[in-house]
Every structure is written in structure tokens, then in C-alpha cells.
Chains A and B, each alone.
Chain A
Amino acid sequence: MSDSKTIAALEIGTGKMQVFIGEIIDGKTLNFIGSGQATTEGVKKADIIDVRRAAAQAQAAIVMAERSTGASIKSVCLGISGTHIKGFRNIGSASVSGADAVVREEDVERAKDDARSKILTEGKSYIHRICCGYYVDDVFTSSPLGKTGSRIDAEYWMLYGDSDKIADAIHVVQSFGLEVEYLVFSALASAIAVTNAEQKNNGVLVVDIGCGTSDYVLYKYGRPMQAGVIPIGGDHITNDLSYGIRLSRANSERIKRHCGKATITEDERSEKFWSFGDKQIGDKKISMDAINKVIRARLEELFLLLRDELTDFIGNDSIKEVVLTGGSSNLSGICELASAVLGFPCSQGKFDSSVRPNLRHQEFATALGLLEYAREQESNKQSSASIFDTFAKIFKR
């Protein structure tokens, strides 16, 4: 008999609350069955500043999603982001215990435990402790078992955030009686949705440029090597524009979406258009050049900050390409700019062919990735559970 589970993916974004409901069958198949969306007001720079409002809006999105499917949700896969999220590299080591100097499972576990056991300062909690790979006598390997050497090191990327902020996000879900089953850093989820195994193996930097922040994750050898948050997002571009071209926030947002370009040609530079278009009092002509200067300055800063964060991986052929996703990656010319600043070929995220065409939007990358993440975890559970079941049956006999 097939085992099916309904799970909701919730992304508490700065721009919107996005809920996708999926049905996971036998941990193998993922069926998208419904969605819900609500505007967000209690969130700025991906940090929840008003828990009550955020909770109300998240609930609205979940109720909308439930109604669209008729399914009732018990657990949630929650995507988390925010300016408070930071990461550091930690290496744990263990000496190889066997007399034959062959690395065994227990040696690896000891090295892993050593790396994972690093204690954070008060008020901080881990979100993910990601194993990036191993070193056997300082030689990198992704599968150390069976290799010979005297010492094994496990390299971890420790992603952590403020305990309070994480608790706030979980509280948003719990406040209407649901449980957070998985807590996932949103860039990891986005990367799952917009890259394939080959890209992850060759080295890909996924940057999810959202409304409030830009979250990134770097994959190499199929594993996440580094992840973090650059506290700049689409809202910053809008805010800059409202200063630069002196229009209200709503108008700046409209202009960003319709006329914003990260890179422009010489001909476009002299182009002008009306700010409101109604030619009433206050309407004025704005040059494309002015808009481009503002947007470009901000995005260049974003990519430069990103480059500074990834110094370990730049210049040594680790990264083969950059994939941009998130709502702000729809800005025209952003890939060209990213490619110019970072020095890698850059493209927008591409979704798997199994994703419905109407869901193939960069804004949905995180929510789609969350569902896929949940499926992967369920699949892991199932495989371990099935082994256990077999054993249980054997013993019963």
C-alpha cells in the first residue's frame, strides 16, 4: 500500500507569504496539489518584525492553500532567511584508529562529531550544520571510507542565526496549531529547485535575490560548501530609486519592475519616459540613465559583497557558473551585471521539466525547493525505516 503524506512548504518572505502544498507518495513522488499566497507586512529585510501580523498573514496563506486543495495540513516545511543568519567554517579532526590506517565509519563519525560540537555564543542557534567534505591527511575527498591515512578531518559549514528570530519564525507556524517539521535555509531550498545534480557537482553558486535579502549557497562536488545572506534585496533597489528619482515608494517599485535595467546600451542611455504617464502635475520625464545608475550601483555592491564572502572559492576554478533566482532576478540585465562583477557565466534558474509551467517562476523557487527538500527527507526516512522493518520482521520470525 502506498504511503502518502501531505506537507506544506511555507516561505515567510519579505514580499509575500508563499504556501505550496504537496503530496509525497512513498517518499518518491511529489505531487503539487495547491498553493496560497498572502501579502506580508510584518517582515522587513526577511526578519519578522511583527510576529502577530506575520502570523495572521501566514495563516491566511495556509487557509487559502488548504481551501484550494481540500486537504488539511499537519506539518510545515519552513524556509528561513534573514539578516541575522551567518555562517562559519569549522573543521573537526580525529586520528584513524585502525592499525591498518584505513579510514572506517567510526573514525569519520568522530571527526564529524568534533566538527559539529562547536558551541555557539548565547542567543544563537544552528540552522544547518552542513558537511562539505573530508580531508584524509590533508587531501580532500568527498568519500573517505576505505582511504588510508593517519588523520581524518571533517569540514563543516555551520549556518546559524539568532535564536529569538528563529523562534519567532517557528512561532508564526505554531500559533495556528501546525508543527514545523523541517526548518530549511531558503537559499538551500531555492538551489534544490533551480539546479540539477550535474551543476551541483561542477560547482554552482545559487543566489536567491529576494525582496529583503539575497541568500546564496555554493555547491561543489554535489554538496553545499558555503551558504549565507547578503542583507540587500529588491526592497533596497526600490528604496534607492525613491531617493534617486524622488518618487514615492509605490511608483519607484512600478518603475523598477517596468523600466528597471541593471545594464543598458548606449542608445538606451538617452531614453526618457514619463514617471506616471498621465502627464498631470508632478509627472516628469525620467532618464533611463538615472534609473540605471541607481540600480547598477546597488547591484554592483551586492555582487561585490558576495565576491568578498566567497574569496576561498574564487580564482581556483571551484565555481563554474552562477545561477540567479528569486523575484529580483527578473530584473533585466542582472545576469550580465553579475557575470561582469563575479567573472563567471551567469543565468537565471531553470526548473526541472517535471515542474508545471505555471509554477516556473523565480519567485516560487524557494517554496518549490522546500517541497522537494521535504520529499528528500521523507525518502531518507522511508529507506531507513524500511531497513528497520525488514530487521523487525526477521526478528519476529
Chain B
Amino acid sequence: MNPQSQQSQKLKIRIVGVGNAGVEMLKKICAHGPIDATIVAVDTDLSALSKSGVKHALALGGEITDNMGCGGDPTLAKEAALANLASLRAVVNNADMIVILTALGGGTGSVVAPILSKLAFEGGVKCIANFCILPLQLEGAERVSLADKAFKYLHKRSNIAISMPNDIIMSRTGKSLKEAYDEANECVANAVLAILNMISGRGIINTDFPTLRKIFAAHGANSFFASGQGFGENAAEEAVEKLKKCPLLSDNIPSAKNLLINIVCGENMEMNKTRALLELAKQCFNANGRVGYGIEINPDFDSKIEITAIGTEEAPSQLSSEPAIQPEAAPVRRETEQIMSNENSLPQAQNISESIPQDEIQLKPPHKRISTKIPEDNPVPVKNPDEAAVFEPLKPPQPAPRPVTEEEEPQRKRRGFFGFGRKKSEQTQEQPVATQSEFKFVEKSQQRGFFEDTPPNIRNGEDLDVPTFMRRNIKINL
């Protein structure tokens, strides 16, 4: 046994499958043979758990759900999760890395996965990865919106959060329903195994856990995952082509900030080819930050090459589940952000732009577009506050289109849905947005401000570094 695999055995990696689909994904992973990780299945449905054959299984709910699942009811699932909070905490405690697999949209998955992520985040787990399958659009707006909210919640609390829209995976196959679902699960399983392989130490060139942590250091960065395979003479080119066209990228090759590439190839792979392949893959994602790569030899591969890329996106863009933003939107936002610095300065800024006719042409139409576009493009009626946080400073400061009064209330309730324990402070996060009138210099996620680089100051379950008036929900009128 080489020292690295010893090290990776010391690494406590836990793969948690949540909900029925999560358990199915675990099964797929188990089917690939033994791995250096503890596999835990969490579900409200006892029968599904017992059928799964997974060694560590945690049944939630008990009497609350009669051990029969929660029937897609998130409220019931939350009740079940809160009743077993200690067990859930035990699942994530003391782990170095935690991988949560789930399909969002249902009851258990949509509720327990965010809760697990939060527990892991609070428990200081070094690397939290979430792989979520999003529901089909035809499953109904309710499920889609629940899935969206759940994903955005756990996205903020994970180092790697990858959503795989079922629509995309399934639209490309003419297979039967069961095969299609299997393929979606397989897809997740492959992604997880690829990451585990990268840090397992079996390859010639290994990326280790610290590299992975460094690349995915930030919580809440948009991450992507893609894989491609190539065969025969032009295997390398083919693999990169497939990588680009990977359904999980939603036809939108992101600019990677940090990138991790893993190559699995046959024994005869030449060095210069490998280099060319890495270069190609790097170029493909336009990677300019940290790039880590691993190469693994699989004797069965012969001329086959499999390439896996996982990384964080350069700029926060819309999540992959949603329609891609039109490319011109980005520079427009930057323009509006400057104007945003002060409400009063808006007319001035426009005056300036009017004096320069060219600017006027560039500035004005996108303004209109943005203000109307966001509600239009988003079929889901309720927007998640998290997303509002990302985009808020980028919007032009027009008071009218910002749906403060009508939508703020329901948002708060929903935000509180996944939260537990520190509900108040979660809710108070909304306040700065609602009363925004000045410089936006604090991110909502960094409410600790000056104390953000110090350890949390927990007393009676509250972080004392977070302003008291926010935790107490005291409204400050300037």
C-alpha cells in the first residue's frame, strides 16, 4: 500500500445518499466496487433503506412518517429531520469531506440535504460536495421551485455544489424511462467516483485532498462538472469534444476560475499526448486560476480516454438549472453597479451618459432589458433571497421593479423553511435588502463584518459577532 492511499484512508470521506433517489445513487456507486469512503443512506422510507443493502442507514421520522416516507411533503420531512437532528449531526461530524447525493424536488431530498449541508458547514467539515439531480420541468412548478430553493440554500453552504437538471440528461436519450433515470443516477455516481479517484492516490499523478480543498476553498461558488470519453486514434480530441458537449454543462461552457482535471487512460498513452490533452482541456474552460490535474492508468482502457473536469466558475452567473444569461448582460451589470453606488447619483450618471450619445445607446436599452428580463425569464414565481443577494448590487437602482413589499414576506418564510436553530438571524438577513438605500458594502452572507476572519462567538446557539439588532429582528429606520 503506498503512503498516499494510507493517507486517503485516514481521510474521513462520507458519501451520504438522501432520499429515495440518493439511495439509488449510492447503489450505483457501490456497484463499482469498494471505495475508500463511508457510505451512509438517509431516508424517511424504511423499506427503501432496508432494500438498499447499504451498511450505514439512517431512517428519519419514525412515528412522524410511520417509516413510510414523507410522500413528497417537505413540511413532514422537516419535522422528521428535526426529530433526528442529533443523528444527522453524527452523520457529518468529524468528517473531512462529505458528499451529499440527492434528487431535489421531493420531500426528503429537498429538506434533508440542505439541513445536512448546514450541519456540515457549521461542524467545520473541510469539503462539502453536493450533487443534486433537479426535477423534470414536467413534474410541476411546485417541485421545480422547491428544488431551486433547496439547491440555492445548500449551494451557499457547500464547496462543490453541482446540479444536474434531469431535463438535460434525459432529453438526449431515446431510452426507456427506467434506463433514463438509471443513466442520471449513473451520471452522478461517475462524478462522485471521479472525485474520489482523484484523491484516492491510485493514479500516476495524484491530486490530493488539500489540492481539492484549495481549489474549492470558497463556499457558495458556482461549480460545474463535466466528463467526456474518446476512443481510437483521435481519442484525446474526441474526449475534449465530448467534454465540451457534456450535457451537464447545459451547452454553456463556463469560464473556470479553478479547475481540477482528471484523466483516465490506457497504458500506452504517450506523454506528449497527455500534455496536449491537458492543454486542450484547460483552454476549453479558459482556466486562469488554480488548475490541478490527475492522471490514472486503467489497463482495461486500451485506447480509450476518459476526462473529467470539475471546477468553479469565474464569475457568479445563473445556476445551471436556469436559462443561461445572455452574454451581453455581464458588462451591462458592471455599468449599473457603478451607478448603484448611490441612489441620488443615478440621475447624475444618466445625465453624463446623455451627454455622450454612444454611451446612451449602450446603456439605456440593456437597462430596460434587465429590469424586465429577470421576472420574465424566471418562470418560478418566488425568487429565492439567496439569489437576490447575488444579483442585488448588480441591478439598476429602480425602486419600482424591485418587488420588496409583495415578495419579501413569503421569501422570508421560505428562507426560514430550511433553517433551524438560528432562524431569527436568517430572517434578519433580509432587512438590509428591504431597506437598502445607500452603499452596498456588506454581503449578506458575511454578516459578521469585522469579525469574519475570527472563529464564531457562539453563546446560547447564537453567534454574538452577528449584529444583535439583526438577530433580534429590530428594524432600523435611517
- Does B442 have its Cβ within 8 Å of any Cβ on chain A? yes
- Does A294 have its Cβ within 8 Å of any Cβ on chain B? yes
B468 touches A297 (CB 8 A): yes
- Does A11 have its Cβ within 8 Å of any Cβ on chain B? no
- Chain A residue numbers with a CB within 8 Å of B472 are 297
- Does B457 have its Cβ within 8 Å of any Cβ on chain A? yes
Most A Cβ at <10 Å: residue of B344, B345, B447, B478:
B478
Q: How far is the CB of A282 from chain B (nearest CB, A)?
A: 6
- Does A223 have its Cβ within 8 Å of any Cβ on chain B? no
Complex-state Cα separation, A245 to B437, whole angstroms: 10
B464 touches A243 (CB 8 A): no
User: Which chain B residues in 430-478 approach chain A with CB under 8 Å?
Assistant: 432, 437-439, 441-442, 447-451, 453-454, 457, 459, 464-465, 467-470, 472, 474, 476-478
Interface size class of A (residues with CB under 8 A): 20 to 34
B465 touches A236 (CB 8 A): yes
A243 touches B477 (CB 8 A): no
A284 touches B468 (CB 8 A): no
Complex-state Cα separation, A235 to B464, whole angstroms: 12
Q: Select which of A47, A49, A281, A297 is within 8 A of B342 by beta carbon.
A: A281
Q: Select which of A231, A242, A246, A300 is within 8 A of B457 by beta carbon.
A: A231
Complex-state Cα separation, A235 to B454, whole angstroms: 13
Q: How far is the CB of A86 from chain B (nearest CB, A)?
A: 12
User: Which chain A residues in 229-247 approach chain B with CB under 8 Å?
Assistant: 231-232, 235-236, 238-240, 242-246
Chain B interface, DSSP helix/strand/loop, else mixed: loop
B469 touches A293 (CB 8 A): yes
- Does A287 have its Cβ within 8 Å of any Cβ on chain B? yes
Given contacts A44-B451, A289-B477, A290-B476, contact A246 B439 (CB under 8 A): yes
Q: Select which of A47, A83, A236, A287 is within 8 A of B477 by beta carbon.
A: A287
Q: Select which of B432, B441, B467, B478 is within 8 A of A240 by beta carbon.
A: B467
- Chain A residue numbers with a CB within 8 Å of B448 are 239
Complex-state Cα separation, A285 to B11, whole angstroms: 55
Interface size class of B (residues with CB under 8 A): 20 to 34
Given contacts A245-B476, A282-B342, A290-B477, contact A239 B465 (CB under 8 A): yes
Complex-state Cα separation, A240 to B448, whole angstroms: 9
* 0/1 interface trace, chain B 111-122, chain A, CB 8 Å (1 if under): 000000000000
- Chain B residue numbers with a CB within 8 Å of A289 are 477
Complex-state Cα separation, A44 to B453, whole angstroms: 9
- Chain B residue numbers with a CB within 8 Å of A49 are 453-454
- Chain A residue numbers with a CB within 8 Å of B438 are 246, 282, 284
B449 touches A243 (CB 8 A): yes
- Chain B residue numbers with a CB within 8 Å of A286 are 478
Complex-state Cα separation, A368 to B449, whole angstroms: 33
- Chain A residue numbers with a CB within 8 Å of B441 are 246, 248
Q: Select which of B449, B453, B454, B465 is within 8 A of A242 by beta carbon.
A: B449
B432 touches A243 (CB 8 A): yes
Complex-state Cα separation, A301 to B441, whole angstroms: 26
* 0/1 interface trace, chain B 335-348, chain A, CB 8 Å (1 if under): 00000001011000
Given contacts A246-B439, A281-B345, A290-B476, contact A239 B457 (CB under 8 A): no
Q: Which residues of A contact B (CB under 8 A)?
A: 44-45, 47, 49, 83, 231-232, 235-236, 238-240, 242-246, 248-249, 281-282, 284, 286-287, 289-290, 293-294, 297-298, 300-301, 305
Additional A-B contacts beyond A238-B450, A243-B467, A246-B441 (10; CB < 8 A): A231-B457, A239-B467, A243-B469, A245-B476, A246-B432, A246-B439, A293-B469, A293-B476, A301-B464, A301-B468
